[in-house]
């Protein structure tokens, strides 16, 4: 035979062998081997049955109610409004909340942790909401600015009152009262008009008017309680506080730059810039008309007043010091605080540390919408960083 | 002779010219002694400095006793100044100075304080987002609305008074106007401006006077991330925005931009790494960023500007990590 034929055959054989080698290298799999390489004494590892989740139910709890922590995250979804609903004094409280963006209303049983959707009515681009304490009606704002829409809807079909009521005016602020009505502020070309709507009777009445447009309202618990009104806070513009009660509006001796305030019938907590170039807080007593310094500087938007102790205010206070750009930088989202809870005593002018939320939760909580329930048992708040709803079992009593 | 005397007399009378009396106005208006108050129209609770001004030295050698509403102010005994705290709104406080001359003669000077609240609400017509809880600030060329509120213990005073507004010492509305407790003006150039107001009764008595210093700022651009379902995240994007999914929506917010420009901008551009982006969304202040290839760091810029009327604008940029 000729030599070239031998060479060609040899080359072909070599190529075949190389191909087999490559195949075995990349695609070959070892057969099951009975050899044991390690024995970690895990027992019978040949059992291939699937262990199912024995705790899953149709209404799986979303809130961890077994943990000893008194600080609990109630939602993972962003929230635009919430309230505590009790059928009566002895019943378990439910927390109703409104999901941002959809306007869906949910309730959480804080004892069992179960969450139930109360309303599946969608309000696209919903940005703010308020629910009456009886859980029957919700006031919802969708969109923003001139294009925003505000409606009041009935949550329970068995309730009286209109299923839906649209407010055509330019609503800038609203709240639900403890006696299950709604208060809202309407902006006119030269003033702000505050009105009350009764969802059962569907009646509307004017409560009072303030002669400027850019107004912040610190609402009282009911329509007849005093409400505080002040020009929206600005670190570079002066503000002052008015008190509206029984249809009358009067000026309080509270004013300053960077001014914001919160209050009850007897006290006004306010913060402002002082002449020495600091941001400080004070408490004005309506009874004796005296103003005392708060033991700690606070943002009044992060405080609420005790429902049982007239001289106690609970506030969320961060470690980042306030400065002359406060509160503008917080409003814009440039500054975020990691808050702890403190109580302030307006009589002794003392402060008591309550809780480090970062140490307990492991999360940075910039607390806003702080609300004490009726018996000073629980605190609810929203974390401004992600709009989630939280509960702290204060149990002041 | 008699006729000659009459003639001379008449001739002399024709040559008589009127001569103006050479009077020094200050001799009429400036008293020898006076009590000056600073501030002259305080708000309730404000500290007022009362000063005895002795223009002609008439108090030389006298002891000075200050009396407030019949009570002697011991802390100001024999002082030319006294510090007084203004009382309740609407009240009248009588301030007296008793000068006891060396010979024993007493001279009493008197003035009164009428504390009242004169608040000026400043409402700039500039942009802030709906979630922003505070008030906007004036920017150069933007319009500002100012509202005066005069109030005492009984509430707001009837606005049927005479208001004289002035900005940087230039009178607005061409002069005092009755019932005009609101005014609008354009923010002038400069870092600040002084707005003054005098409120008088229709009869001319001054009720209150006040000047305030207002800031003028440059528009400022901040960026926020938007969730298509839940809405805008209210924290400013400060560090590079990390896009973990395939896309993200970024919202640009030009704080303190004149509202007229915000609603109808002449120029509004998004740029990615310096290249103009064809943003086709309905909202010119939002852009959707989509990952199309390899990841990395990119710069997102936005500018909004007016070129016709207000000549104002704002721009800013952020880093995005795909």
Q: What tens digit of pLDDT does each residue of A200-214 get?
A: 999 999 999 999 999
Q: How far is B31 from chain A (nearest CA, A)?
A: 35
CB atoms A211 and B224 under 8 Å: no
CA dist., res. A68 & res. B254, Å (int): 46
Using a CB-CB cut-off of 8 Å, the residues of chain B touching A213 are: 123
Put simply, whether A364 touches B (Cβ < 8 Å) is: no
pLDDT at A57 over 80: no
ipTM of this complex: 0.86
Taking CB atoms and an 8 Å limit, are A127 and B119 in contact across chains? no
- More confident: A38 or B177: B177
Cβ of B123 and A214 within 8 Å? yes
Tell me the shortest Cα–Cα distance from B241 to chain A, in angstroms. 15
Q: What distance in Å separates residue A124's CA from the closest CA in chain B?
A: 8
Give which of A116, A125, A115, A121 is closest to A138, Cα–Cα.
A121
Residue A331 and residue B133: Cβ atoms within 8 Å?
Answer: yes
Q: Which residues of A touch B212 (CB under 8 A)?
A: 238
For residue A178, pLDDT over 90 is answered with yes
Phi, psi of A84 (to 5 degrees): -95, 130
Q: Is A108 on the interface with B (CB under 8 A)?
A: no
Asked if B236 and A334 come within 8 Å (Cβ–Cβ), the reply is: yes
Q: Provide the b/e sequence for B26-45 (b: ≥16 CB within 10 Å).
A: eeeeeeebebebebebbbbe
Decide if pLDDT at A223 tops 80.
Answer: yes
**Is 60 exceeded by the pLDDT of residue A30?**
no
Distance CA A82, CA B282 (A): 32
**Chain B environment of A233 (Cβ under 8 Å):** 133-135
Q: What is the Cβ-side half-sphere exposure of residue A69, based on CA atoms within 13 angstroms? A: 18
pLDDT of residue A254 exceeding 60, the answer is yes
Q: Residue A149's pLDDT is what?
A: 92
**pLDDT, chain A, mean:** 88
**pLDDT at res. B21:** 46
The mean per-residue pLDDT over the stretch B11-35 comes to 54
Partner residue opposite A332 with nearest CB, options B43, B212, B222: B222
- Chain B interface residues (partner A, CB cutoff 8 A): 43-45, 89, 117, 119-123, 129-137, 147, 149, 151, 153, 155-156, 182, 212, 214-215, 217, 222, 224, 227, 229-231, 233-236, 238, 255
User: Largest alpha-carbon pair distance within chain B?
Assistant: 128
Interface residue A76 vs chain B (CB under 8 A):
no
Cα(A397)–Cα(A374) distance, rounded to whole angstroms?
A: 11
* pLDDT score, position B12: 59
Q: Do B156 and A212 touch (CB under 8 A)?
A: no
**Chain A hits for B149, Cβ within 8 Å:** 211-212, 251
Most confident of the ranges A134-148, A161-175, A314-328: A314-328
Cβ-Cβ contacts under 8 Å, B235 against chain A: 333, 336, 384-385
The tens digit of pLDDT for each residue in A290-310 reads 999 999 999 999 999 999 888
- pLDDT at res. A86: 85
CB B143 within 8 A of CB B185: yes
| pLDDT confidence bin for A262, thresholds 50/70/90 | very high
Which residues of B are less than 8 Å from A384 in CB distance?
234-235
Provide, rounded to the nearest whole percent, the portion of chain A with pLDDT above 90: 72
A46-55, A92-101, A115-124: range with lowest mean pLDDT: A46-55
- Does the predicted TM-score (pTM) go above 0.90? no
Q: Residue A37: which pLDDT band, with cuts at 50, 70 and 90? A: very low
**A47: pLDDT confidence band, cut at 50, 70 and 90?**
very low
Q: Between A58 and A357, whose confidence is greater?
A: A357
| Residue B310 predicted with pLDDT over 70 | yes
């Amino acid at each position: 035979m000729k030599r070239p034929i031998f060479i060609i055959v040899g080359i072909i054989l070599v190529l075949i062998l190389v191909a087999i080698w490559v195949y075995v290298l990349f695609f070959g799999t070892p057969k099951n081997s009975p050899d044991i390489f390690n024995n970690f004494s895990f027992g019978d590892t040949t059992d291939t049955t699937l262990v199912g989740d024995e705790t899953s139910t149709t209404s799986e709890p979303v809130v961890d109610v077994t943990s000893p922590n008194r600080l609990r995250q109630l939602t993972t979804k962003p929230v635009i409004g919430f309230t505590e609903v009790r059928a009566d004094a002895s019943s378990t409280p439910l927390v109703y909340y409104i999901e941002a963006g959809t306007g869906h209303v949910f309730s959480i049983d804080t004892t069992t942790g179960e969450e139930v959707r109360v309303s599946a009515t969608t309000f696209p681009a919903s940005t703010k909401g308020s629910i009456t304490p009886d859980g029957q009606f919700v006031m919802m704002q969708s969109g923003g600015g001139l294009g925003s829409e505000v409606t009041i809807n009935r949550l329970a079909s068995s309730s009286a009152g209109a299923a839906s009521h649209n407010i055509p005016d330019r609503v800038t602020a609203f709240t639900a009262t403890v006696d299950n009505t709604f208060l809202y502020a309407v902006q006119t070309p030269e003033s702000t008009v505050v009105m009350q709507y009764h969802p059962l009777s569907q009646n509307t009445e004017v409560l009072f008017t303030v002669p400027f447009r850019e107004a912040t309202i610190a609402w009282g618990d009911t329509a007849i309680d005093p409400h505080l009104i002040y020009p929206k806070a600005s670190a570079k513009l002066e503000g002052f506080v008015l008190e509206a009660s029984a249809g009358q509006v009067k000026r309080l001796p509270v004013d300053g730059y960077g001014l914001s305030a919160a209050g009850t019938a007897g006290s006004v907590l306010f913060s402002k810039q002082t002449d020495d170039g600091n941001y400080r807080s004070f408490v004005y007593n309506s009874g004796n008309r005296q103003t005392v310094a708060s033991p700690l500087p606070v943002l009044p938007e992060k405080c609420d007043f005790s429902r049982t102790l007239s001289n106690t205010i609970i506030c969320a206070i961060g470690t980042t010091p306030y400065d002359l750009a406060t509160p503008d930088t917080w409003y814009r989202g440039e500054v975020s605080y990691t808050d702890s809870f403190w109580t302030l005593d307006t009589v002794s002018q003392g402060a008591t540390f309550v809780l480090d939320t970062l140490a307990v939760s492991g999360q940075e909580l910039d607390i806003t919408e702080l609300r004490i329930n009726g018996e000073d048992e629980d605190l609810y708040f929203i974390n401004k960083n992600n709009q989630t709803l939280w509960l702290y079992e204060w149990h002041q009593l | 002779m008699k006729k000659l005397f009459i003639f001379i007399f008449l001739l002399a009378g024709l040559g008589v010219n009127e001569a103006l009396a050479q009077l020094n106005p200050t001799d009429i208006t400036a008293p020898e002694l006076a009590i000056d108050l600073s501030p002259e129209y305080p708000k309730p609770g404000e500290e007022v400095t009362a000063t005895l001004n002795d223009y002609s030295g008439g108090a030389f050698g006298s002891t000075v006793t200050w009396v407030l509403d019949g009570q002697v102010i011991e802390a100001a005994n024999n002082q030319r100044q006294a510090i007084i705290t203004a009382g309740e709104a609407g009240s009248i406080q009588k301030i007296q100075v008793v000068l006891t001359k060396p010979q024993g003669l007493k001279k009493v000077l008197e003035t009164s304080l009428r504390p009242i609240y004169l608040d000026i609400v400043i409402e700039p017509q500039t942009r802030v987002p709906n979630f922003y809880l505070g008030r906007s600030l004036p920017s150069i060329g933007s319009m500002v609305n100012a509202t005066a509120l005069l109030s005492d213990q009984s509430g707001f005073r009837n606005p049927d008074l005479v208001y004289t507004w002035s900005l940087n010492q230039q009178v607005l509305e061409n002069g005092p106007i009755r019932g005009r407790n609101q005014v609008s003006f354009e923010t002038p150039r400069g870092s600040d401006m002084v707005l003054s107001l005098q409120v008088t009764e229709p009869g001319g008595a001054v009720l209150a006077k006040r000047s305030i210093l207002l800031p003028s700022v440059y528009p400022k651009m901040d960026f926020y991330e938007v969730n298509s379902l839940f809405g805008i995240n209210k924290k400013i994007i400060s560090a590079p925005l990390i896009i973990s999914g395939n896309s993200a929506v970024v919202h640009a917010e030009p704080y303190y931009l004149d509202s007229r420009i915000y609603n109808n901008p002449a120029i509004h551009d998004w740029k990615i790494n310096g290249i103009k982006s064809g943003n086709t969304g309905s909202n010119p202040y939002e852009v959707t960023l989509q990952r199309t290839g390899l990841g990395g760091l990119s710069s997102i810029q936005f500018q909004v500007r007016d070129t016709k009327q207000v000549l104002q604008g704002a721009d800013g940029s952020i880093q995005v990590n795909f």
